[in-house]
């Protein structure tokens, strides 16, 4: 698939999320993600607000569903989401139910490997159960916990190529990547580039709007340049 830039709106209020989303769209971002903090704080109302404000942009609901796969997908799809995240650590029946509902409502299901002890096996399972994308994810607490214990913090780049080689569906790498690292993930076979915290934090948004737009515009230019390379090869 073509390379895409997704901005994670990991904020806690709809006005802040809409503010950042406008900056991101102006900069050329392709997909808007209603991040988990936003969904916890504002629920499906955040997805609906993004859909109303940006009718042409795909919206990802990072619900991290662990149970009730069908009802979760149904609610987010009806609110306007184009893709919903379900966890690889959920029961297989939850993933199956989410995938089934996704087909019914014409939305994509993204399977997240966060907390999976074997991320390659988790990615294969998500593909086998019908997910459309793999989110290869090292969680915030996992990274910070190991780092605080004096151990090297893990990175999704550590096993990204193995995950990409294990599946045929598109992969995105998430968790602790710098902007420079994220932009390089298409070179490693992961075409869905996600830009999130700390760039999109509430404090950064208040103090550095111009800088956020500049960075996102540069990211989009670099990531979208891979499309031209693919078309000429």
**Sequence ranges of the domains in the chain:** 4-232
Per-residue tokens: 56? 């042409």
d(CA 207, CA 171): 32
| Contact of 39 with 63, CB cutoff 8 Å | yes
| Contact of 149 with 124, CB cutoff 8 Å | no
For the chain, give the mean pLDDT.
Answer: 93
Domain 4-232 sits in CATH at 3.20.20.70
In the chain, which residues have pLDDT < 50? none
182 CB neighbour count, 10 Å cutoff? 24
Please tell me the predicted confidence (pLDDT) of residue 76.
98
The torsion region of residue 106 among left (phi > 0), alpha (psi -120 to 50) and beta comes to left
Place of tokens 């299901």: 109
User: How many CA atoms lie within 13 Å of 82's alpha carbon, on the beta-carbon side?
Assistant: 15
Please tell me the predicted confidence (pLDDT) of residue 203.
65
Sequence-ordered list of residues with C-beta below 8 angstroms from that of 80, at least 6 positions apart, any chain: 47, 48, 50, 51, 52, 59
| Contact of 3 with 227, CB cutoff 8 Å | yes
Per-residue tokens: 143? 């990274």
Please tell me the predicted confidence (pLDDT) of residue 145.
81
Please tell me the predicted confidence (pLDDT) of residue 217.
96
pTM, two decimal places: 0.94
Please tell me the predicted confidence (pLDDT) of residue 208.
85
């Amino acid at each position: 698939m073509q390379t895409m830039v997704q901005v994670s709106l990991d904020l806690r209020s709809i006005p802040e999320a809409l503010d950042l989303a406008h900056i991101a769209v102006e900069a050329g971002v392709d997909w808007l993600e209603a991040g988990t903090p936003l969904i916890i704080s504002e629920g499906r109302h955040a997805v609906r607000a993004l859909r109303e404000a940006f009718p042409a942009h795909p919206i990802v609901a990072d619900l991290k569903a662990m149970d009730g796969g069908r009802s979760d997908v149904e609610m987010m799809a009806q609110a306007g989401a184009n893709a919903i995240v379900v966890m690889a650590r959920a029961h297989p029946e939850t993933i199956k139910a989410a995938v089934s509902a996704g087909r019914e409502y014409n939305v994509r299901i993204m399977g997240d490997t966060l907390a999976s002890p074997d991320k390659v096996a988790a990615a294969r399972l998500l593909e086998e159960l019908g997910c459309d994308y793999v989110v290869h994810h090292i969680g915030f607490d996992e990274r910070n916990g190991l780092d605080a214990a004096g151990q090297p913090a893990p990175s999704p780049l550590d096993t990204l190529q193995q995950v990409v080689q294990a599946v045929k569906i598109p992969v995105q790498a998430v968790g602790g990547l710098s902007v420079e690292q994220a932009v390089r993930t298409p070179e490693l076979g992961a075409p869905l580039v996600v830009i999130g915290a700390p760039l999109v934090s509430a404090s950064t948004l208040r103090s550095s709007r111009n800088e956020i737009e500049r960075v996102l515009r540069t990211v989009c230019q670099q990531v979208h340049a891979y499309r031209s390379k693919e078309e000429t090869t």
